[in-house]
């Protein structure tokens, strides 16, 4: 089931995704493939250029945000022999495909830029080590105590040479303990013409020393280092929250050996096709199919459902789920590194790398903002003494304060952390979102188009009504005949009738079974020649009376498919079969309407059935009798009417429409692989109420993004004004920036506590 992987080319241009023209082209390709019955041949992953070297994964502990990724890209830009670069901020890693000589040059260039690449095997690349570990907390504690003592000396000791010497020594000690690497990295960045945060800190500290402000220099560096430590821990918490799900899957499993004995075996040593045993109360270690036993399984880590699901012979179970009751023997279907749980985590991590539109805007804004503040600071230092009459030393100091304020940390971290928290919360609730863009854009939806079969309905017919019309045989005997007639057919309607009757008595041997495609089946049971089939087929036989026709019409208007059992010239019984509406569909539609989102049904079914199901679901706008290309055209029409639309579907015939919609949403339980590959979002438990949850989460995420950006910019504007009138110091500016960073980080992490507003049914 590789449909959960949502691949993208390495070094893809950072542009807006999901454009109408791009979606339409993708939809046309899918439509063509579907029409030619070659869906399995559709390639969803980009074809990469052939590698001429060996790809390696490098862990870079202090690569935290897009600004640092950009720095590394810049230093590697001129190196010949690099074929591709793929950055993953969620794991602080870089996959580099290059010749050995180019790798060596790249490693040295990254080190010179102030980063520490550590070569690791790609398959072993995990979430990485905390950035904070490179600067232990105890060192920062000592550095803060020293910096505080320098502040005390500055305010209490007379400004004599005797007291300045210990202040100078203590300040240098604090800077060395807290951020010597930051200082020298900043100097190297300045030599390369880069204005990153390290460069700003280096300029501020150097300027403070030139002015004799030892206490300012020490406190600036120490507060910045503490801010980095806290920020790194918070970012790790958000980025690695989803990976904690991996710990839910046991590390060992009870494996059946060739001699029939059971042995505890590490899961990584167990191969697909082998059998494992899971006892009541244990977590399921690997994906598998039930070979024997039956139980209730809690699938909350996978689907977000809180109510256990019954599992019997042939059913699929997933790693990380909890076996609630009976003993299960399972046939393993995937290795430990390719379970559905592992693929969900991989998909979410890949989604974290795809920046939402507001995140790309902030990245571009920060790239302009920092140089602009730097230019203003230079202007203050050079021109304020002439234009405002400030003393040179005062102007220089205020310019340094402005440089500290220019730190874009809170602004840059505000968006990715919030988006990552939203993606993680959604995944834990059974909503798999393949990119931050879809999480952000879902709030704009004005209409949602739903496929009928398998989306609004359960996707398989069930027997809903039986009416016996004959008086020549008992009801029990007639039902037994119907069971015998349908027991040998694989047609969905026949299977529904057989399962609904649940009879083991065939009332005599069945002979001369003949099935006519699209019509029904004939057979002889005992001395009775019977036929079971569609109303049209019975009408051809002249068996439909006006009274019976009226009854058939009433059932068909209710959305039922009716089959009739006849013997000779008499109809014995009517069997109404229907694909029943899902239990939560009506509630989901009602919730969407309350949020001013228009629901629309797109289906290939006949108008009567479509209208009946739509009425039960509460949908008034229905388009029926649609082929895949018709659904695609309907999506374009709806876009012209509503501007922002989503498509929810589960089948191959929905793939073109899923691709053409602004957001494609697939049903993960009942859906086909191609639908889930094409979709931007997958609802893992097939509960349509998760669509309403998605929109609620999207709106909450966007509100949080707005709050964080407002907080970050607001605090900077306040201190910018205070700096110009000389009412703040460098360390106070750093302290304010630290405060802003912690506020936006904490606000973004609140999304990790987001829960569905609905209880699972």
The closest alpha carbon to 707, from 270, 411, 329, 375, belongs to 411
CA dist list (Å): 531 to 170, 506, 556: 100, 15, 21
Q: Long-range CB contacts (< 8 A, 24+ apart) of 590-593?
A: 590/618, 591/689, 591/692, 592/448, 592/691, 592/692, 592/695, 593/618
Q: Are 278 and 336 in contact (CB under 8 A)?
A: no
Q: Which residue has the tokens 């801010």?
A: 227
Query: Rg of the chain's alpha carbons, rounded to an integer?
Result: 33
Q: Are 56 and 103 in contact (CB under 8 A)?
A: yes
Q: How far apart are CA 85 and CA 10, in angstroms?
A: 6
In terms of DSSP bridges, do strands 663-667 and 645-649 run parallel, antiparallel, or are they unpaired? parallel
Whether 451 is a known active-site residue: answer yes
The closest alpha carbon to 566, from 461, 476, 468, belongs to 468
**Alpha helix locations (H) across 192-254?**
197-210, 214-240
Query: Partners of 440 in the beta sheet?
Result: none
Return the H-helix or E-strand segment holding 465: strand 462-468
* 3-state per-residue secondary structure call for 540-566: HCCCCCHHHHHHHHHHHHCCCEEEEEE
Q: Which of left, alpha, beta for 325 (phi over 0: left; psi -120 to 50: alpha)?
A: alpha
3-state secondary structure of 698: helix
Q: Are 319 and 284 in contact (CB under 8 A)?
A: yes
Q: Are 457 and 581 in contact (CB under 8 A)?
A: yes
Q: How far apart are CA 430 and CA 242, in angstroms?
A: 12
Q: How far apart are CA 240 and CA 15, in angstroms?
A: 26
Question: Is the four-CA dihedral 383, 387, 392, 394 of positive or negative sign?
Answer: negative
Q: How far apart are CA 712 and CA 417, in angstroms?
A: 14
Residue 303 has, within 13 A of its CA and on its CB side, a CA count of: 25
Q: How far apart are CA 510 and CA 623, in angstroms?
A: 43
Q: 730-749 and 689-724 helices cross at what angle (nearest 10)? A: 170
User: Considering 236, 451, 605, 686, which one is annotated as catalytic?
Assistant: 451
Q: Are 407 and 652 in contact (CB under 8 A)?
A: no
For the chain, the first-to-last Cα distance in angstroms comes to 26
Q: How far apart are CA 175 and CA 214, in angstroms?
A: 10
Residue 14 has, within 13 A of its CA and on its CB side, a CA count of: 14
Q: How far apart are CA 467 and CA 477, in angstroms?
A: 13
The closest alpha carbon to 138, from 232, 228, 226, 201, belongs to 226
Q: How far apart are CA 134 and CA 61, in angstroms?
A: 8
Angle (CA) 220-109-49 rounded to 5° is 125
Q: Are 712 and 417 in contact (CB under 8 A)?
A: no
The closest alpha carbon to 85, from 126, 53, 130, 131, belongs to 53
Angle (CA) 597-602-603 rounded to 5° is 150
Active site positions, annotated: 451
């Amino acid at each position: 089931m590789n449909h959960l992987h949502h691949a993208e080319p390495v070094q893809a241009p950072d542009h807006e995704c999901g454009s109408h023209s791009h979606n339409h082209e993708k939809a046309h390709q899918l439509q063509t493939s579907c029409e030619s019955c070659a869906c399995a041949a559709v390639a969803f992953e980009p074809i990469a250029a052939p590698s001429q070297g060996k790809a390696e994964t490098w862990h870079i502990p202090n690569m935290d945000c897009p600004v640092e990724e950009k720095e590394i890209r810049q230093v590697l830009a001129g190196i010949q022999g690099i074929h591709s670069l793929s950055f993953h901020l969620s794991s602080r890693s870089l996959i580099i495909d290059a010749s050995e000589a180019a790798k060596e040059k790249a490693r040295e260039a990254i080190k010179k830029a102030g980063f520490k690449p550590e070569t690791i095997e790609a398959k072993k690349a995990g979430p990485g080590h905390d950035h904070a570990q490179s600067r232990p907390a105890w060192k920062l504690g000592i550095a803060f105590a020293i910096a505080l003592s320098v502040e005390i000396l500055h305010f209490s000791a007379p400004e004599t040479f005797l007291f300045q010497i210990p202040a100078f020594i203590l300040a240098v000690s604090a800077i060395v303990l807290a951020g010597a690497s930051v200082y020298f990295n900043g100097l190297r960045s300045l030599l390369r013409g880069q204005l990153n945060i390290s460069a700003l800190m280096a300029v501020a500290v150097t300027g403070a020393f030139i002015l004799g402000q030892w206490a300012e220099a020490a406190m600036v560096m120490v507060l910045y280092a503490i801010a980095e430590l806290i920020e790194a821990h918070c970012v790790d918490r958000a980025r690695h929250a989803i990976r904690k799900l991996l710990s839910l899957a046991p590390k060992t499993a009870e494996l059946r050996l060739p001699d029939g004995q059971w042995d505890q075996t590490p899961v990584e040593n167990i191969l697909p096709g082998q059998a494992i045993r899971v006892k009541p109360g244990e977590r399921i270690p690997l994906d598998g199919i039930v070979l024997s036993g039956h139980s209730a399984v809690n699938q909350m880590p996978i689907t977000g459902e809180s109510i256990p699901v019954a599992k019997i012979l042939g059913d699929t179970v997933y790693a990380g789920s909890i076996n609630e009751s009976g003993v299960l023997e399972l046939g393993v279907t995937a290795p430990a590194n390719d379970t559905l749980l592992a693929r969900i985590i991989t998909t979410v991590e890949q989604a974290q790398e795809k920046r939402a539109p507001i995140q790309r805007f902030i990245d571009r804004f920060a790239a302009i903002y920092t140089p602009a503040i730097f230019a203003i600071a230079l202007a203050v230092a050079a021109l304020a003494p002439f234009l405002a009459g400030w003393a040179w030393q005062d102007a220089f100091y205020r310019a340094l304060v402005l440089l500290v304020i220019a730190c874009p940390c809170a602004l840059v971290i505000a968006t990715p952390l919030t988006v990552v928290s939203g993606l993680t919360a959604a995944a834990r609730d059974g909503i798999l979102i393949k990119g931050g863009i879809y999480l952000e854009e879902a709030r704009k939806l004005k209409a949602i188009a739903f496929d009928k079969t398998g989306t609004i309905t359960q996707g398989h017919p069930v027997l809903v009504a039986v009416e016996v019309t004959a008086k020549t045989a008992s009801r029990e005997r007639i039902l037994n005949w119907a069971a015998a007639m349908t027991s040998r057919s694989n047609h969905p309607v026949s299977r529904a009738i057989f399962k609904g009757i649940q009879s083991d008595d065939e009332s005599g041997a069945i002979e001369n079974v003949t099935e006519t495609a699209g019509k029904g089946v004939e057979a002889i049971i005992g001395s009775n020649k019977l036929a079971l089939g569609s109303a049209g087929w019975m009408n051809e036989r002249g068996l439909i009376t006006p009274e019976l026709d009226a009854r058939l019409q009433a059932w068909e208007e209710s959305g039922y498919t009716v089959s009739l059992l006849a013997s000779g010239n008499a109809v014995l019984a009517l069997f109404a079969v229907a694909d029943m509406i899902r239990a939560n569909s009506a509630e989901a539609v009602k919730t969407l309407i309350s949020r001013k989102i228009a629901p629309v049904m797109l289906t290939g079914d006949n108008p009567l059935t479509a209208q009946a199901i739509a009425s039960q679901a509460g949908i008034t706008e229905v388009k029926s009798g649609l082929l895949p290309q018709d659904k695609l055209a309907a999506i374009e029409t709806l876009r012209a009417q509503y501007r922002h639309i989503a498509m929810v579907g589960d089948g191959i015939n929905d793939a073109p429409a899923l691709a053409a919609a602004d957001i494609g949403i697939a049903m993960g339980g009942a859906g086909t692989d191609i639908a889930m590959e094409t979709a931007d979002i997958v609802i893992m438990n097939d509960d349509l109420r998760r669509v309403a949850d998605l929109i609620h989460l999207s709106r909450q995420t966007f509100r949080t993004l707005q709050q964080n950006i407002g907080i970050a910019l607001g605090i900077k504007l306040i201190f910018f004004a205070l700096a110009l009138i000389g009412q703040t110091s460098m360390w106070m500016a750093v302290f304010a920036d630290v405060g802003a960073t912690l506020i936006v980080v904490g606000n973004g992490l609140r999304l990790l506590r987001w829960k569905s507003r609905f209880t699972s049914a």
